[in-house]
Amino acid sequence: MNMAKSNIWKNRRLRHIIILVAGSIVALWIMIVVLFYNFTVSQYETSTLMRLSGIANSLALQIDGDIHQQIFYAHKAKDEITNNNQDSLYRSLHELLKSNHEANMLKSPVYTITMDSSGMFYEFGITSDSVPYYRHPYNTYHATLKDHYISGGMIPAYKDEFGMWLSAFSPVKNSKNKTVAVVMVDEKLDIFQNSVRSELLKAFLLSLAIFLTLISILIWQMRKILSREQKDKNIIEEANSKITRMNKELSVANNKLSNLDQFRKEMISNISHDLRTPMAGIIGFLELIKNSQPSLNDEEKNKYIDIAYSETIRLNHLVSDLFEITKLESGQLKINKEPFNIYELVSDIIQKYQLRIRAKHVELNFEIEENQGLAYGDIKYIDRVFQNLLDNAVRYVDEGGYIKIWILDAGDKFKVKICNSGDLIPKEDLDIIFERYYTNEKSDNARSGLGLAIAKSICTLHGCTIKAEINNSVNSFWFTVPKAGL
């Protein structure tokens, strides 16, 4: 059953057919119910009003208007009659109304209504009920009573605080043919309406059961039609899915090969370019020493040897940095994250740089709290990021200037910040300062120009942020490190 429903609702054409059929049946049923309800209630209302009118007219002819008038002259106050046997005249009319009430099997009491002498309001008079409500004001009378008090009439369905009613009234006249009261006969329409609604509810439940049965039979029949179609469709979809998956895998593999090939070409080109300059310097000075031995004194030879040695050191740094950034940018390097004490790491690195900082007569200030908690990352690479930034600050700080270091709490991360005085970074360079081989006129020939690029690649692998800023006439570099346990 579930499979059938699933298949049908996936089939747009069949789904529309079922919705159309179900909607048409429901709409037709609602229309029939509304028409039947309105017709039944209308017919009942018409026949009941005619019956009530006949009863009222018959009673009006039986009631002696003079006696009714005499009772009201004798008892002028509200509740002056509280018992049906209290007054013989009242009792005679009460018995008349009661006998008619019982003979006609009415569910509501029959009663008379009299207009007050002022003509402003109505009062109840004689009633067939077991307890009189003599001269109680009738406040919720229908407008038809006022309009047809003298001639009598029928009141279609109306509502008051006790429910929905149908009423008919007829004038009671005295010997002078003057209307002294009306006799009113009521029947509650609510009872009939509730009865009709109850029957309609039963019909609805029966119709619903039949409707669900028909829908189930329809779905069961459609299942046979859709079963084979669904199997064929599943086979085709599975084949298409396999082809799509294979195409994606081939596309990913081709992209990887293309990226690797492009990376290989760029790496070879960059390495060739970066190694050519220091190698040319080393070869040149060594050839000069070799080919000019008689004409060179020891001082000159040592000078050229020192230069060649310096170029060798530069070449060594360049090769090391190239290998490191190559591994970082290839995406093949795996970092081993673990909790570590960031205070101890930064403090140890600062100690290593004390001699270089003092040699430039630089003032070093650092604001670091010992118990800030543990950071989370690969400690040897975070060490490299901080060293590269501090090395950059020491290289570019002006003689006699200052360097300031903070470790700040940034929510779920630590923010490590290094500032140095000196020439400011050009604003147009802030966005490219972390790119490969960024240098300026103060660059140190012993460096590769890859330090900041390496720092950015390490931060990227850790999901951290690194940024350069110019604040209060100082250069600022900062990076973030995640906290352990968050």
Q: What pLDDT was estimated at residue 269? A: 64
Q: What pLDDT was estimated at residue 270? A: 60
Topology of the domain covering 10-194: Beta-Lactamase (3.30.450)
Q: What pLDDT was estimated at residue 437? A: 58
| E strand map for 288-378 | 338-341, 363-367, 374-377
Share of the chain above pLDDT 90, in %: 29
| E strand map for 116-160 | 122-127, 137-138, 153-160
What is the CA angle 397-399-405, rounded to 5? Answer: 40
Token pair for 210: 């039949």
Burial per residue of 45-69, b for 16 or more beta-carbon CB atoms within 10 angstroms, e otherwise:
beebbebbbebbbebbeebbbebbb
Paired sense of beta strands 153-160 and 163-173, if any: antiparallel
pTM of the model as a whole? 0.42
- Taking 90 as the threshold, does the pLDDT of residue 63 lie above it? yes
At 30, which amino acid appears? Answer: I
| E strand map for 240-389 | 338-341, 363-367, 374-377
Give the pLDDT mean for 317-327.
65
Instruction: For the chain, count helices (H), then strands (E).
Output: 11, 13
The DSSP 8-state label assigned to residue 271 in this structure reads H
CA 292 to chain centre: 83
Domain with CATH 3.30.450.20 in the chain: 10-194
- Taking 60 as the threshold, does the pLDDT of residue 447 lie above it? no
Taking the C-alpha atoms of residue 37 and residue 394, their distance in angstroms, rounded to an integer, is: 96
For the chain, the straight-line distance linking the first and the last C-alpha, in angstroms and rounded, comes to: 49
Helix (H, G, I), strand (E, B) or coil at 220: helix
CB 226 within 8 A of CB 4: yes
pLDDT digits (tens, 9 = 90+) for 100-129: 999 999 989 999 999 876 667 899 999 999
Token pair for 188: 């509650």
Taking the C-alpha atoms of residue 42 and residue 28, their distance in angstroms, rounded to an integer, is: 21
Token pair for 154: 């029928």
Token pair for 48: 């009941």
Domain with CATH 3.30.565.10 in the chain: 335-482
CATH class as words, domain 335-482 = alpha beta
For residue 2, the tally of other CB atoms under 10 A from its CB is 6
Q: What pLDDT was estimated at residue 97? A: 94
